[in-house]
Amino acid sequence: MYGKKQSELLDGTIFCSSVHGGLRLQKQKTLASRVSYDGIGLHSGRPVHMELAPAPPGSGILFARADLPDVPPVAATAAHVTATVRATTIGAGALKFFTIEHLMSALHVHGIDNCRVMLDAEEPPVADGSARAFFELITRAGSIEQDAVRQETVIDRIYRVDNGGHFIMALPYDGLRVSFTSLNEHPLIGVQYYDIKVSPSAYEREIAPARTIAYEKEIAALRAHGLGLGGSLETVIVYNDEGWMNPLNFPNELVRHKILDVIGDIRLAGMVRGHIIAVASGHALNTALAKEIAGERDQA
């Protein structure tokens, strides 16, 4: 079930432990300059202008509506997650923002603590369905250290959240590492596994170009529910029973994109330092883990 409060060792032993977020004497970082990007939303299909701007120390990642300047922004934290159907949605008060995970993933790997994300719609642009455009945008903006100490979320025990045969867990690790096993019944995909020690260079090369994937037979149902309206062969990899409808960036692009999503979703618990291991996890499990980690950190 979601939110399992016990901890489990790799050999199956159960134990309980107190935990707190650790401090490392690093400086917080924000963007060195403003940058912008125009596109359409993956699910809304609506045009959107996005601007990433520097933010003061301690701000965190804030999502705001440029066309609603009097409405307070929404902090990208686990506590503000409101939905996880095909994307991660955050909301507070009158505002909500969905499909934030690709941008959050790129911000996480770049080590950006504080940033103001200005949008004139509810959803960031999809670009090509990956995080590559966002990673390059942040690279172009550059980053600067701020006069404040970063409080990392240091995983110092084992967290685990289960849902049937699917699970995600976090273990102590000196750095950020993600190991993911995806399970897909379609013979074209099957079981895929990938493991990466996350660094900006490794992420840029191995994870950022991995795009969102959809099964052709599911598209009509998604659109009937108001999802995937901005999807096309330019923004999503599509497969059917005959094969792939557009070229892949990697033979195992699906599992790499799953890792991209994990990195974005887990950023909702802060700047995480640990090893994330997942089997067939999606946004619901990812954000449930982020909530559990962030909840214990807040209580420390």
pLDDT in tens, 207-231: 999 999 989 888 888 788 787 778 8
Contact 195, 179 (CB under 8 A): yes
For 55, the token pair is 């933010």
- In sequence order, the 6+-apart residues with CB closer than 8 A to the CB of 83 are 89, 91, 98
CATH code for position 124: 3.30.230.20
Which residues are annotated binding-site positions?
A: 102, 257, 261
* Three-state secondary structure readout of 47-100: EEEEEEEECCCCCCEEEEECCCCCCCCEECCHHHEEECCCCCEEEECCEEEECC
Does the residue 11 lie in any domain? no
Does the residue 254 lie in any domain? yes
Its pTM stands at 0.90
Domain count, the chain: 1
209: containing domain: 27-298
Give me the tens of pLDDT residue by residue for the chain, a chain 300 residues long.
333 333 333 333 222 233 334 445 899 999 999 999 999 999 888 999 999 999 999 999 999 999 999 999 999 999 999 999 989 999 998 899 999 999 999 999 999 999 999 999 999 999 999 999 999 999 999 999 999 999 999 999 999 999 999 999 999 999 999 999 999 999 999 999 999 999 999 999 999 999 999 898 888 887 887 877 788 888 899 999 989 999 999 999 999 999 999 999 999 999 999 999 999 999 999 999 999 999 866 655
Does the residue 43 lie in any domain? yes
Does the residue 153 lie in any domain? yes
Does the residue 8 lie in any domain? no
pLDDT in tens, 286-300: 999 999 999 866 655
Which residues are annotated binding-site positions for Zn(2+)?
A: 102, 257, 261
Does the residue 222 lie in any domain? yes
Does the residue 137 lie in any domain? yes
Does the residue 4 lie in any domain? no
Catalytic residues, by residue number, are 283
Short-list 200, 201, 213, CA closest to 250: 213
